[in-house]
Structure 1
Amino acid sequence: MTNFFQGRLYLAPIGDYPQRVLDLGTGTGIWAIEFAEQFPSAEVYGIDLSPTQPDWVPTNVKFQIDDLEGNWAWRENHFDFIHARNLEACFRDLPKFFRQLYKHTKPGGWFEIKEFEIQARSQSTELDENHIFNRWERLVRTHVERLGKPANNAANRRYATGLADAGFVEIVEQKWKIPIGFWPKDLELKKVGGCNLSLFDESLEGFMLFTLRELAGHTYDETQEIIDEMRTALGNPKLQPYYYM
């Protein structure tokens, strides 16, 4: 998503000298690595359940394998900046997550999350409720919530209200339309849309096999049919697909 923000890694007004920074759900660690290179005096920690980070990283980056749903081991008021993105449906207890964020953020520190809605939309066409974009949203939301994890948190403003309930102030909520595919005329948005289309194309099957087969009870062939229908719709420039972040 840094392409959409003209290469900016963050939007919060963290100042020029952040000292301790935490990246939640760090994945490959690319955000933590780039942030550490931009701020060589900062201590940057990346946390994830999976050990997918590279071995060779800047000396001011440390990666840890941990479950964010557990109790955090860091000291209270420890981090100047906590960053997260794409944590949709990761938490059974969102209020606990928000309380831990508040507990471990320094007074005057910042938390920033970028989250997308699970509902794909069309800019050019009014879609009926049986369109794959709408069926897809219902499938994901229904079966993720069966696992006890609330879904569509961004669309339902659970982050903004939950952070306020935990004690955060000066909460800023912004919403952007993110294209999927090469349909935008603007060259930068076309690039963002192309990256998004590649991401969806690569991740749809892995994400939905468990949801559709194990939770929804679909056969493998039924699952592939739904995935193929979604992939085709996302790649259809006439629909001008997008989602909100």
Structure 2
Amino acid sequence: MSLPKARPEPPQTAASPASPTAPAASAAGGEGELQPPQHWTAQPLPEDDDADSTLGDDAASSTASISSSILQYRTINGRTYHSDKGNSQYWAPNDDAQNETLDIQHHVFTLAREGKLYSAPLPDKIEKVVDIGTGTGIWAIDFGNAHPNAQVTGTDLSPVQPSWVPPNVHFQIDDFSQEWTFAEGSVDFTALLKQAYKTLKPGGWVETFDFNGYFESDNGTLTNSMALAQWGIIFRKGAEKLGSTASFTVVRDKLQRKALEASGFVNIQEEALKIPSSGWPKDPKLQEVGRYSRAAITNDVDGSVGLLAGQLGYSVDDVKVYAAHLRRELRSNKVHGYYRGSVVWAQKPSAP
């Protein structure tokens, strides 16, 4: 899931949901026992059945005025990661394979939201928007095209955004876990959303979209020993080993609403998403969401889990074997998995 990249969206932005309806039962929600690397090499790969082809751009380009230190990426097992400037503990690579995954994820979330880019009741003449954790910049570009009179700024750890963008869109390097480089009151969670509160103009909106970094099932088709269930456990335990403060349970723990309340926002509203892990739903729209979801998950498994799995004793070859099991599980459509997302938006009180 990014998948599970825990990435809050910005002041005056972000997302809405349409979700499969199902009872709230959970399966191996990232809390089970970690399987050792030998678990995957000791068992044969399951047979392919009902195999769907995965979806298979150049996302990387340049961003103006970048210091050379930003471009000094770290290389681990042949994959590039953010430079040591800012949050060098971020778990995902910043190369073309992972950037393609981010763009597929964007399509998944847009489909799940029935085409909407955001849910907050933004004014018709919106002036400034910031997309925090913009990734490849695809959301900021789509928003800029839809709102040509708004000035849209996307921020991220790496300059992987394209240079050919709408004239009202620009990008800058910024680590949202540290102090922002924006001036107070200009465009203008708990620390992140307190910064958002400080930066927003009175009456401005903030919208965050996040999702759990693990999968669930309501009918017992997902068990702890399966690769899809182990995904969340690898993320959680690997992040702990890395010493990262990243949370892959933002939605489960309702951290978005709690942080917004603690930061002083009002008019807090939220929508819930349940995104299928593959094309198993009977509903045609959810099938389409699930197929793209599977494409996002399987597009770059090595990049998505490689760094964290490495903290748990996985070799590069171990990760590849694990990835093969994961892809086979998802292609079979027998595992009725999904992950939860949440869109929460709120307003900074208007000036008295």
Query: TM-score, normalized by length of structure 1?
Result: 0.87
Q: Quote how far apart the aligned CAs of 1:105 are.
A: 1.4
- Retained in 1: the 8 A contact 2:278–2:330? yes
Answer yes or no: is 1:118 the counterpart of 2:213.
yes
CA distance in 2, matches of 1:35, 1:27: 14
Aligned to 2:326: 230
Equivalent residue in structure 2 for 1:180, among 270, 277, 288: 277
Aligned to 2:292: 195
Q: Quote how far apart the aligned CAs of 1:32 are.
A: 0.7
Equivalent residue in structure 2 for 1:60, among 162, 168, 175: 168
CA distance in 2, matches of 1:204, 1:149: 22
Identity %: 35
Aligned to 1:212: 309
Letter in 2 for 1:42: A
Q: Quote how far apart the aligned CAs of 1:148 are.
A: 2.8
Aligned to 2:240: 145
Residues 115 and 156 (structure 1 numbering): CA distance in 2 closer, same or farther, change over 3 Å? same
Q: Quote how far apart the aligned CAs of 1:126 are.
A: 5.0
- Retained in 1: the 8 A contact 2:157–2:174? yes
Aligned-pair Cα RMSD in Å: 1.8
CA distance in 1, matches of 2:300, 2:186: 35
Answer yes or no: is 1:7 the counterpart of 2:85.
no
Equivalent residue in structure 2 for 1:221, among 317, 329, 332: 317
Aligned to 2:230: 135
Aligned to 2:255: 158
Letter in 1 for 2:142: E
CA distance in 1, matches of 2:308, 2:267: 37
What secondary structure does 2:332 align onto? coil
- Retained in 2: the 8 A contact 1:123–1:239? no
Output one character per residue of 1:158-204: Cα deviation in whole Å (capped at 9) or x when no partner: 12111211111222232111112222222222211111111111132
What secondary structure does 2:339 align onto? strand
- Which range moved further: 220-229 or 33-42? 220-229
Letter in 1 for 2:250: N
CA distance in 2, matches of 1:39, 1:186: 32
Letter in 2 for 1:232: R
CA distance in 2, matches of 1:141, 1:101: 27
What secondary structure does 1:73 align onto? coil
What secondary structure does 1:112 align onto? strand
CA distance in 2, matches of 1:148, 1:22: 25
CA distance in 1, matches of 2:218, 2:291: 16
Output one character per residue of 1:196-224: Cα deviation in whole Å (capped at 9) or x when no partner: 111111132101111111x1122233222
CA distance in 2, matches of 1:136, 1:196: 15
CA distance in 1, matches of 2:238, 2:123: 41
Q: Which has the higher contact order (CA 8 A, sep 6+)?
A: 2
Letter in 2 for 1:236: S
Equivalent residue in structure 2 for 1:96, among 191, 200, 205: 191
Residues 58 and 131 (structure 1 numbering): CA distance in 2 closer, same or farther, change over 3 Å? same
Letter in 2 for 1:144: A
Letter in 2 for 1:184: P
Letter in 2 for 1:125: G
Equivalent residue in structure 1 for 2:178, among 52, 63, 70: 70
- Retained in 2: the 8 A contact 1:124–1:238? no
Aligned to 2:78: none
Give the count of matched residue pairs.
231
Aligned to 1:28: 136
Letter in 1 for 2:292: C
CA distance in 2, matches of 1:236, 1:124: 16
CA distance in 1, matches of 2:293, 2:229: 19
